[in-house]
Amino acid sequence: MVAGVVFQQRHTSDSQVNTRLSKVLRGGRLAEERWAEVQVGDVIRMENDQFVAADVLLLSTSEPNGLCFIETAELDGETNLKCRQCLPETAEMGQNDSLLGTFDGEIACETPNNLLNKFEGALAWKQKRFPLDNDKILLRGCILRNTQWCYGVVIFAGKDTKLMQNSGKTKFKRTSIDRLLNFIIIGIVFFLLSMCLFCMIACGIWETLTGQYFQVYLPWDKLVPSEPLGGATVIALLVFFSYAIVLNTVVPISLYVSVEVIRFAQSFLINWDEKMYYEKTGTAAKARTTTLNEELGQIEYVFSDKTGTLTQNIMTFNKCSIAGKVYGDIIDETTNEILEVTENTPTVDFSGNPNYEPDFKFYDGTLLDAVRQNNTDVHNFFRLLALCHTVMPEERNNKLEYQAQSPDESALVSAARNFGFVFKERSPNSITIEVNGQKEMYELLCILDFNNVRKRMSVILRRKGQLRLYCKGADNVIYERLKEDRGDMKSKTQEHLNKFAGEGLRTLCLAVRDLDEVFFNNWKHRHQEAALSLQNRDEKLDAIYEEIERDMTLLGATAIEDKLQDGVPQTIANLALAGIKIWVLTGDKQETAINIGYSCQLLTDEMIDIFIIDASTFEEVESQLVKYRESIRSVSNHQVPTAVSIVTFRWDQHSESEYQRGQSIDDSENGSSFALVINGHSLVHALHPQLEKLFLDVASQCKSVICCRVTPLQKAMVVELIKKNKKARTLAIGDGANDVSMIKAAHIGVGVSGQEGMQAVLASDYSIAQFRFLERLLLVHGRWSYYRMCKFLRYFFYKNFAFTLCHFWFAFFCGFSAQTVFDPFFISVYNLFYTSCPVLALGIFDQDVNDRYSIMYPRLYSPGHFDLLFNKKEFLRSALHGFFTSCVLFLIPYGTYKDGVSPKGHVLSDHMLLGSVVATILVIVVTAQIAMDTSYWTMFNHVTVWGSLTFYFALQFFYNFVIHGAYVGSLSKAMSEATFWFTTVLTVTVLMIPVLAWRFYFVDVKPTLSDRVRLKQRLAQLRSRQSQDVLRTPSARRTRRSIRSGYAFAHQEGFGRLITSGKIMRKLPRSNGGDFFFPSFSNHGGPSNLGGVPTHME
């Protein structure tokens, strides 16, 4: 039933994707088809903001020159727009359905593979062959942006798409407890066989020595040979099978049913947790599987995506430094201290600006005052932001909107807009802005485009005869190219940059340079030559750029917040205190990932070193890894160990060792002062069989690991590496289709219901709406589930051994004849009616400490890492406890009732009375035991525990007196005598006192952390006030000394060329009498060389 529910959930989720509709050309007309019915060769129409249904070759688009723009967040986690362009020959078909429907080109291409950034093929059409590459392909999972419509022919569909090729295979996941249970059950079966073998041999001996003389009272069956030795042998063989039936209850068949019921109920507790409900989207946490709950309490490694998982995918203009002065901090007028921004902090009112954006928030009003006071430095600062970019403006519903290639640029241009410097329009040769209601038009002479090596971009503009270069980029790059003057401003700005970086903000420096006409014309000529060079073109252009991007004047710096999701730093800090290592696997660039690492406290300036592996060859990667390993060893050999207190009250050696037992050297605190950052190119070599052990050796000794520019398949390979070599339980969390492979590879996959679609959620085992809910999912529900399941299993084996072995002891007194000590009805319903409900309530509701303390003291999570609560040793302890209990349960009543006579002379030594007494005491003892084991009493626990005991007596009397069972009158007769009550009290006392003494001794002398926290919780409840302990997790805005640059700019090279070529323009603005030259375009989209200002500049 449980499996059926899970299957139905999966089927429903898959149907949501497969039933998405796509427009397909059928017979020259568009028809809506489900994704599942889209086939290779179909021509499909895609519209703005729609998902692409398959891997398609782009045929035509609504944009000029066959361009279209896509967002690939589901593929690589990046939200910046990417450009694709179809062949000019196919672009001519436009949206003519009849022409597109008769498209008869033949495409020869590579076989299906998982390489997202590579495609090789050729199109044969109209007796011509056209080469195809990745720039002409739209992959499944992309979203069409800023493009009204486009058409494409399906190349790969379904499982052959690159997205699905990267998704990995769905594996059946089992918990470590499941594997241990299977091993234990096999051991119990052998134990059963050994008991049956012992009883068989003992029966043969008894029949040979004694039984043959009692055939008058116990006649042998006619099938048994009359010869003593042969008859005893046959009887013994038959008894083997009889005892296999009698003692079969030692093999807990009902255990698996009970385990699934508990897991099923625990899944609903996760689904119903209001503290994991995200009100903004109305999304609750959901357990999409019911078989992995306790594994949530044993996670050692968390592999997380960055974009959309740790961050919100939202960039906001937070602070800035202009002419050595910081803007953005809120200062308390009385104490001059910087105040923390909260939801109640008043924002600056921008409503006086007709182009302001209501969603834009800034808290320091002094910056707007400086703008209104016409502060020259501030005006130059915002002019640069409004002019130096590759953003495209667009009018939608009479509202100005920006389409940026990166969220960073969008945030900067948006900030300029709200402060009154509105970017209005652009053409290939001009940029128009509006400053406080006055239009300013600039002639665009050149865009010096951004790339990952330059780490900067510049524009050269002319207005009113004045030439000026505006530049923005990384602080170290800009500072190297500044004039030697204004040293005081540079040092102040550097201090501000360090402050911004320490707060986890993304920084850019802004600079400007005035140019003279002669110098620029000379430079422009050499720039043209370099742009037309066929050899070493990029190197020559970089050298030319260097000539003009120098002797600049610093304007200031911007600080953008790549907004983390709420509670991310606290969550990561608490998970780290719980002994969980966190690795970030992202498709984003290195600078951005490092910056986020600092923001969420994965990287700190207190770390001894941060290792960056960025080599591109096998030998170089190996050399870097060896070097870093030696650095770690060198530091570890000279480092003096320090004692670190994990909790807020004293914790002695015994309790610490309870949770540290079995911890390996490479997990020790000596290795926690390092971090490792590695990019995708280096990771290819690091995952090579010859290097993976070295890579793992270095990575496992680092507190944090960040893998950048990794493909979806590499994410899965990293997870598999840890699973295979560390034998650790892993969890992968992500929100996009690019995370599906690692979600499937990890022991547990968690999908975040984010902005990158639902692919990750559909492939996950658990889904949550925010990363911060992972803390509660693991430290509360995961730990509780593991704790409950372990306690359930220990008790279940105990009660089963206590019940079954009573038959074994009775065998010594019945000639090993396979006679049962209990009523057959009692044997049938013992596990079903008398003991099932209390143990199920224990497994569903029990908890040692509440959720608040579980999060406050994350070290409580550690026992799951070392399997401390249930393992082979704990099983043997439970089995021996049951063994001892069964022995006392049988022998004390047997000794009492053997040859027993009541005061009235009634004989009490009959088999049925003894069986009823032992059965009754057994139920009382196991009920008392579970009452002692229950740490958290709910209404359900009270009803099931005391109700089961009451139900036993009620059912016994109903069965015997109403249905007239075989044991009618036995229990009532026994209970009418004082002997029964004395025997019951004596047996229960003998069995319970050692357990109580053992527990009191260890709680008092060797308490675990759980014992201490539980005591603290109870004392707090008695005082009826909340604990004053403070949750010691780092603040998300903790200022610290910075040894790094805050530079991070999610930008892509190439948009500068598109802008200046005019290919990206939907329509060119009409000339309004200015002196600017607007080029005409040939049929192939290229600029005509008509003289004047060059129409295409790099």
Other Cβ atoms less than 10 A from the Cβ of 113: the count is 13
Burial class from Cβ neighbours inside 10 Å (0-12, 13-18, 19+) for residue 216 reads exposed
Which 3-state string (H, E, C) describes 439-479?
EEEEEEEEEECCCCCCCEEEEEEEECCEEEEEEEECHHHHH
Q: What's 291's DSSP letter?
A: S
Contact criterion met (CB below 8 Å) for 513 and 416 = no
Active site residue 14: no
Contact between 802 and 926 under an 8 Å Cβ cutoff? The reply is yes
Report residue 947 CA to chain centroid gap: 42
CA nearest to 454, candidates 1047, 1062, 1065: 1047
Q: Give the residue from 342, 313, 278 showing the smallest Cα distance to 564.
A: 313
Map residue 426 onto helix, strand or coil. Answer: strand
Beta bridge partners of 68: 84
In whole angstroms, give the CA distance from residue 200 to residue 197: 5
Identify the H or E element spanning 512.
Answer: strand 506-515
| CB-count burial class (<10 Å; 0-12, 13-18, 19+) for 127 | exposed
What's the token pair of residue 520? 């620029």
Contact 393, 416 (CB under 8 A): no
Angle at the Cα of 849 from the Cα atoms of 844 and 855, rounded to 5 degrees: 105
| Cα(970)–Cα(982) distance, integer angstroms | 17
String of DSSP letters for 726-752: H---EEEEESSGGGHHHHHHSSEEEEE
Options 42, 55, 76, 305, the catalytic residue? 305
Bridge partners (DSSP) of residue 320 are 327, 558
Residue 242 DSSP SS3: helix
CB 266 within 8 A of CB 788: yes
Question: What single-letter amino acid sits at 39?
Answer: Q
What DSSP string describes 920-941? Answer: HHHHHHHHHHHHHH-SS--HHH
3-state SS assignment for residue 363: coil
Distance CA 100, CA 923 (A): 79
The answer to whether 475 and 494 have CB atoms below 8 angstroms apart is yes
Q: Give DSSP secondary structure letters for 154-206.
A: EEE-GGGSHHHHTS--------HHHHHHHHHHHHHHHHHHHHHHHHHHHHHHH
What are the start-end ranges of the H helices in 287-396? 365-372, 376-387
Helices (H) and strands (E) in the chain, counts: 36, 34
Are 659 and 625 in contact by the 8 Å Cβ rule? The answer is no
Report the distance separating Cα 232 and Cα 213, nearest Å. 12
Catalytic positions:
305
